[in-house]
């Protein structure tokens, strides 16, 4: 028994000694998406609105329904396309009447947005439920009104029945309930990656080149902003050590304190163009520009390539999204208005 205990102690010690990079990553604030479903649910839950399959399925239908927009053409998925990186792949978001965002703001990814500290580039929303309200009402986006959105949902018996099934027969179907239900669905859009497998203890999950890239990522100072489970998502100063070369594109200046939300690096290979104004299409260029204006360092081509190799390991396993069959419109459903 004593020998067995010694062997077990040695094995545990050897495991710890074999993981210096894993320890370094965690010491620098990098956090894994939990492999345990219960632990993940605890992180993604809304304490004010219990997540259930019925609510999530209803939220998915609302997320994909373009009739919530004034034109009847734009859904949440238009700018946050779940078939790719959770964004729209253009520099400035395009909305109602083919209108580009007036501040030339780029659509952030909705994947893993639940892990961000705040929502929107200026951090003005505290959570996904609150964030969901903005685009639906914004004139350059979905351009709808609360009255229009409520009328659309209430006009379809299938939606009314779905709300009662999800929330109870006395549910109040209003704009807040609709936005909150969309937000609940968005909370499920989590993409664990091989990097999470590595942080969760599987040292073979990353290749030798990806591990070298992680070392370079940490040594360069990228974890001064890109940390936590979102590998981003907090509010930071922007262009601290240099002027952003595309700063004049758009008029966005951050929040009242000049802070800008740090984008998640999860699935970053799928979310070009980069930066708040969507002006950089090359990931290598984005890495080097960040070094220059955020860290005050010149990142060599070799180091940029190494970091990019690591970032590819953040491409996650997306949840299976089955395109929902939406309720049929009725005579009471508001007609599309493209003007």
Active site residues: 141
Count of beta carbons in the 10 Å neighbourhood of residue 217 = 25
131 closest CA partner among 120, 121, 146: 120
Angle between helices 175-186 and 146-154 (to 10 degrees): 80
What are the tokens at 20?
Answer: 């210096």
In eight-state DSSP terms, residue 294 is I
Q: Nearest 10 degrees: CA dihedral of 309, 311, 313, 316? A: -150
Alpha helices in 82-199 (DSSP H): 128-131, 133-137, 146-154, 157-167, 175-186, 194-199
Distance between the two ends of the chain, CA-based, in angstroms?
Answer: 81
223 closest CA partner among 32, 20, 29, 33: 29
How far CA 78 is from CA of 95, 135, 163, in Å, comes to 9, 11, 24
How far CA 130 is from CA of 53, 125, 143, 201, 290, in Å, comes to 21, 6, 17, 35, 30
195 closest CA partner among 266, 263, 264: 266
- Give the separation between CA 81 and CA 184, rounded to whole angstroms: 17
Q: Side-chain half-sphere of 281: how many Cα atoms within 13 Å? A: 4
């Amino acid at each position: 028994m004593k020998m067995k205990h010694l062997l077990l102690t040695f094995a545990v010690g050897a495991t710890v000694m074999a993981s210096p990079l894993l320890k370094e990553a965690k010491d620098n604030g990098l956090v894994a998406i939990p492999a345990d479903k219960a632990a993940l649910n605890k992180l993604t839950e809304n304490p004010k609105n219990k997540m259930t399959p019925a609510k999530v399925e209803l939220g998915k239908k609302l997320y994909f329904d373009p009739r919530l927009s004034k034109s009847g053409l734009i859904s949440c998925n238009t700018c946050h396309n779940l078939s790719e990186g959770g964004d729209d792949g253009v520099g400035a978001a395009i909305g109602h009447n083919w209108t580009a965002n007036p501040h030339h703001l780029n659509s952030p990814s909705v994947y893993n947005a639940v892990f961000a500290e705040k929502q929107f580039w200026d951090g003005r929303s505290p959570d996904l439920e609150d964030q969901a309200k903005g685009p639906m009402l914004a004139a350059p986006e979905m351009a709808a009104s609360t009255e229009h959105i409520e009328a659309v949902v209430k006009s379809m018996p299938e939606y009314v029945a779905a709300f009662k099934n999800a929330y109870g027969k006395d549910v109040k179907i209003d704009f807040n309930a609709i936005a909150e239900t969309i937000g609940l669905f968005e909370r499920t859009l989590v993409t664990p990656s091989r990097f999470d497998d590595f942080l969760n203890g599987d040292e073979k999950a990353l290749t030798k080149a990806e591990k070298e890239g992680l070392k370079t990522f940490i040594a360069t100072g990228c974890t001064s902003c890109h940390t936590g489970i979102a590998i981003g998502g907090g509010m930071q100063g922007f262009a601290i050590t240099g002027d952003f070369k595309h700063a004049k594109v758009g008029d966005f200046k951050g929040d009242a304190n000049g802070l800008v939300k740090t984008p998640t690096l999860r699935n970053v290979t799928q979310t070009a163009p980069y930066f708040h104004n969507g002006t950089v299409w090359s990931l290598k260029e984005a890495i080097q520009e960040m070094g220059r204006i955020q860290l005050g360092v010149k990142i060599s081509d070799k180091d940029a390539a190494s970091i990019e190799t690591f970032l590819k390991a953040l491409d996650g396993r997306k949840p299976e999204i089955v395109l929902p069959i939406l309720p049929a419109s009725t005579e009471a459903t508001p007609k599309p208005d493209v003007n």
